[in-house]
Amino acid sequence: MARPRNNPGDLAELPTELRSDRPKGDQIREILERLTRRLTAGTVLPSERVLAEHFGVARMTVRQEVDRVVAEGLAARRPGGGTFVAEPRPNRMLTSSFSQDMRARGITPGAKVLEHRVESAGQTLAGELEEPLGTPVLHLVRLRTADGEPMAIERTNLSLRRYPGLETLNFAELSLYDELSARWGVSLGMVSASIVASAPSEADADLLGIDSTTPCLIITSAPRTASGEVIEFGRSTYRSDRYDITVAYRAT
């Protein structure tokens, strides 16, 4: 069995004591955050018991702060292996596609097609796509991965009147936005999106490899082309423990 990358009892990276003029919990959390920035991913952090004894605080106080850095995605727990520095979280810019974001960060994007069907747009979907009622639409659901790790379930709908032949493409291998750009000259313009935190369904949690109590980011969006046409309308589920969302905008 491979040894941990450091000794959980090694206190070389820790201050000798806490300040008396600030809440102890806040200081412990800041210390843990600094450790996650300084140490390499996979390095074991000092245990809750070691931290509590070293700083003379209640173990529950330490546990609460460890829970916070884990929730922030800076650290992760391994059953029987303690708490360790988490891998860096990929970042999603809403002004570019998943594949473009991942490739820009040296990460290999992947996709597994879960649903791929053509249907007629009902009143609500037609309104979102700004298309006539009954317009043929490609409904596409994909499990998105980054270096093989499940990151998101993307659900989207695209007008086949605007993009005829889109339904014939294999999006397990192709980037949606690369194809829209190459075949139909689509240039991404304004992105309108709603982002809420919510627990995933049991089915989504299984696909993403997470517990059903882990919060996810539910993103509803209708990006437009540079000329103002709606490109797609979708509602996707992203892991909040392994993913950051960045929104770029211009003040007017």
The predicted-structure confidence for 89-113, as pLDDT tens digits, reads as follows 655 555 567 787 778 778 888 999 9
What is the DSSP pairing of strand 136-146 with strand 149-159?
antiparallel
Helices marked H in the chain: 24-38, 48-55, 59-71, 98-104, 123-129, 176-184, 202-208
Closest CA to 89 of 207, 193, 245: 245
Token pair recorded at residue 109: 């994007």
The domain 24-85 having CATH identifier 1.10.10.10: the answer here is yes
Domain boundaries, the chain: 24-85, 91-246
Question: Is a pLDDT exceeding 50 seen at residue 1?
Answer: no
Helix (H, G, I), strand (E, B) or coil at 127: helix
Bridge partner residues of 207 (DSSP): none
Helix (H, G, I), strand (E, B) or coil at 168: helix
Question: Is a pLDDT exceeding 70 seen at residue 236?
Answer: yes
Helix (H, G, I), strand (E, B) or coil at 241: coil
Alpha carbon distance 37, 220 (integer Å): 32
- Cβ atoms of residues 31 and 45 within 8 Å: no
| pLDDT tens by residue, 12-55 | 568 888 888 888 888 898 888 888 888 888 888 998 999 999 99
Q: Name the architecture of domain 91-246.
A: 3-Layer(aba) Sandwich (3.40)
Where do we find the tokens 């994909």? 142
| 27, 29, 45, 70: CA torsion to nearest 10 | 170
| pLDDT tens by residue, 143-196 | 999 889 898 999 999 999 999 999 999 999 999 999 999 999 998 888 778 888
| DSSP state letter for 90 | P
Token pair recorded at residue 71: 């929730």
Token pair recorded at residue 42: 């996979």
